[in-house]
Amino acid sequence: MTTTTTTTTTTASVHWHEIDSPVGRLLLTAGPDGAITSLSVPGQKGGRNVQDGWRHDAGPFRAAQEQLTAYFAGELTAFRLPLRAEGTAFRERVWAALDDVPYGATTTYGEIAARIGASRPAVRAVGGAIGANPLLILRPCHRVIGADGSLTGYAGGLDRKTRLLSLEGAPLTPPAPRRPTPR
């Protein structure tokens, strides 16, 4: 089970490590308690970069590396890691809803909005929260698609989104248009 807590960390207490993956180099960060605070990819919109004062240490990331390796090998469908996301209460609700999207499935921004009890006009804000997800792959924002089935934006790039969905066996073609119901 993924657990999430919210706290603030200082630069000196950030641990980091990089690992190779089929979607490029992954930069992981964690707090002093070992909870993963981010997973970023090269060129990611809003992604993290190593900062002065961060501590390079592979130790806190052993379980994450093992699970990510198993995920990319098609052997793991759910991560069981301590995660700590830092965001507004709204963003945290959106991010928690992402955790409920099953491996190999997709959902829409509107469906996420409905899951958290947000109004239809809040779909844009939901999209913004999903785009700000600091835990790519671990918190599966790549499973969120447009209402028409299109592979809409992904902070890690649409090529990575496509590769992740393909790995999971998720449908990548838009659904057939719905026929109007007779009145």
Which positions are catalytic?
A: 141
* Sign of the four-CA dihedral 61, 96, 8, 155: positive
The two structure tokens encoding residue 80: 């069981």
29 contacts 14 by C-beta, under 8 angstroms:
yes
Amino acid identity at 144: V
Q: What is the 3-state secondary structure (H, E, C) of 4-28?
A: ECCCCCCHHHCEEEEECCCCCCEEE
Which of 16, 3, 4, 90 is CA-nearest to residue 53? Answer: 16
d(C-alpha 44, C-alpha 12), whole Å: 23
Kindly report the number of other CB atoms within 10 A of residue 176's CB atom: 7
Give the list of residues 6+ apart from residue 127 with CB closer than 8 angstroms, or none.
109, 152, 153
Phi, psi of 28 (to 5 degrees): -110, 140
